[in-house]
Amino acid sequence: MEQSSGAIVRSYAKINLFLDVIKKRSDGYHEILSLFQNISLYDRLIITKIDRGLEIKSNVDIENNILYKTWDIFCSKFKEPEFGLRITLEKNIPMQAGLGGGSSNAAALLFYLSDQMGIHKKQILNIASEIGSDVPFFLFGGTAIVKGKGEIIEPLDPLTGYKVNIITSNGISTKKAYQSLNPTLFGKAPCSPYILYEAYKNRNITEIKRCTYNIFEKIVTKANKEISQNLKKLKKASLISALTGSGSAVYGISFKEGEFKFIPRGIEYEKVKL
């Protein structure tokens, strides 16, 4: 039986303006140093309260949907809500593309549950990284330096005034991409993400071009000609083009032309009556 209230949550994609790997940790994870930026491409979670449990419908077939994991971990760490949820997930963010769609969805559900149950953001952040390495970022959103395995977030004043085009190809497994990294590649970025951030703030095109970096780009483009061609295509009409995450999506950034834009949030939450 449905209850009376629900919500629509937009969960936004991200791009990595900078991504380096510093080392492989003893726990098997990789230590990253990155500059994350949310863009206006988004998924929609249409949430309706029901009596018990979690039901998910989606326009895309998703094996092991991260929303189930999010619900299970939330219920194990806090008390199970006295209501269930029916979620209709409208996927627009391509999967296995380095755009953070699944992590963004998970953060959106955490945000909604914490609001409904009056749980402080700090407590939610403590479990976010258990769900996925990128999930904590989306609870802050906008522009941020990201460190550790993704759980250390340094929010920055949001970057604005940039447009983004995205091209995707066949999905790439994040796990396999990290497994393919040779330690000799670690820490080889031409500058720090802080310098790149300042370059974006000051619209310093020369520094933006010099400091844009993704450790996976050379590896991925060698193995995938389509991604290499997509980068070249975007470069013709952009200030820069680069791979995001471990791929497969590539982006081009410009001042005027682009389907999407930089935005200052990872989640947009609007309560509605359904």
| 201 is an active site residue | no
Angle at 189 between CA 153 and CA 164, to 5 degrees: 65
Check 43, 134, 209, 256 and give the catalytic one: 134
CB atoms within 10 A of CB 136: 27
- Cα separation, 107 vs 115, whole angstroms: 12
Tell me which residue has tokens 């991925």. Answer: 220
Q: Which two tokens stand for residue 104?
A: 């963004």
Tell me which residue has tokens 């995001």. Answer: 244
- Cα separation, 148 vs 138, whole angstroms: 16
| Crossing angle of the two packed helices 101-117 and 121-131, in degrees rounded to 10 | 150
Phi, psi for residue 157 in degrees, rounded to 5: -55, 130
Check 14, 20, 49, 163 and give the catalytic one: 14
| 157 is an active site residue | no
Q: Which two tokens stand for residue 182?
A: 């040779």
Active site residues: 14, 134
